[in-house]
Amino acid sequence: MLTIGEQIKIQRESRGWSQQVLAERLKISRQSISTWEQGTTLPSFANVLLLSDTFNVTIDELIRGDDRLVKTLKRPVTAPLGLIAVCGLGIAIPLAIGMLSLGVSVATMTDWVQTPVLVGVLVLMGLIYRQQRQRSAPLTRVVIGLAIVILALLLLPQMADVLIGFGDGLRTQG
């Protein structure tokens, strides 16, 4: 059985295409094609779909025999979501502590974050829309980074409120 890299090379060469021609059709770098064909890296699921469409073959024809790719595709894509949640909290909590120590009220924090959150969500939606129109994976570093910032801003007033409640609870205990 052939690996997906070997399949890509066979399909590409049967059409008389160079790696550069295929890369341009997929809107990716020539180096990506090269690393796939060498078996150094594997294409993402989005790129497997693009390859299937570009070569007019079924996904099964492309990936059959490449156990490594099949295992990769079966894994759920949850790592970026966990990263966004952890980093968002990791930014929001120290920001809330800092702003509370400066005497900023929760209501003021809420007012301050509304516009940046709205702008951030609109930009995030635009980035995801643009990347999907280009038929590339939606979770790039820029998208993940922006999602972290938006989540941190959304959580800021809530974390401040939690910290105030925690402080009030400690004061009533002591």
**Domain termination residue (choose one: 44, 74, 104):** 74
**Domain termination residue (choose one: 74, 89, 123):** 74
**What mean pLDDT do residues 60-73 have?**
73
Least Cα distance to 136 among 8, 48, 68, 71 occurs for 48
**What mean pLDDT do residues 99-125 have?**
92
Residue 69 has pLDDT above 60, yes or no: yes
pLDDT of amino acid 98: 95
The tally of domains found in the chain comes to 2
Q: What percent of the chain has pLDDT over 70?
A: 89
Least Cα distance to 42 among 67, 18, 12, 16 occurs for 67
Domain that holds residue 61: 4-74
pLDDT of amino acid 43: 87
Question: Which tokens sit at 124?
Answer: 């995030």
Q: For the chain, how are helix, strand and coil distributed in percent, rounded to 5?
A: 80, 0, 20
Same domain, 92 and 66: no
Residue 162 has pLDDT above 60, yes or no: yes
Same domain, 131 and 164: yes
Higher pLDDT, 45 or 116: 116
Per-residue pLDDT tens digits for 28-66: 999 999 999 998 888 887 888 889 999 999 888 888 777
Same domain, 88 and 165: yes
pTM above 0.75, yes or no: no
Same domain, 62 and 146: no
Same domain, 98 and 41: no
Instruction: Please say whether the beta carbons of 49 and 41 come within 8 A.
Output: no
